[in-house]
Amino acid sequence: MEEATFFGPHLTLDLNGCNPEKLSDFDLVFDILDQLPGKIGMTKITQPYVFKYSGLVPEDKGITGFVVIAESHISIHTFQDKNYVFIDLFSCKPFDTEYAKKYLVEVFEAKTANIQMLERGHDFPRSQVPAAQPLELMRAS
């Protein structure tokens, strides 16, 4: 695999015309955040944090959640009365973006999708992983 010239991919999905029952399903949002990291090669380091939202604008109610992954984060913000969901997946390493796109569009039954892939951190100074020492040198230490 060719070394990336940027820090990591940031996939954003703005999904419209979604199934309002799925957008209001707390357990579904939790399960997506709980299972998606493993499906796309990421490492979940916290349980998903998900809550129902209803604020100053009543028709903006929905489910909001995120999960912290070793590589960064995944977040979901649903708007059930507007049939809309915003989803972000940010990682410091490549992941299966095609699977993530297809899965999320299908699970929310989106009629339209505005999907963007950003390459973040083109000038981010990368550190080198130290080379492993031969076993003989480690024993001599």
Annotated active-site residue 77? The verdict is yes
29 alpha-carbon distance from chain centroid: 12
pTM of the model: 0.81
pLDDT for residue 121 is more than 50: no
**Structural domains of the chain ordered from first start:** 8-125 (3.60.90.10)
pLDDT digits (tens, 9 = 90+) for 67-92: 999 888 999 999 999 999 999 998 87
Check 54, 72, 122, 127 and give the catalytic one: 72
Check 10, 73, 91, 92 and give the catalytic one: 92
- Amino acid code (one letter) for 119: E
- Structure tokens of 51? 């809550």
Cα Rg, the chain, nearest whole Å = 19
Check 10, 18, 77, 141 and give the catalytic one: 77
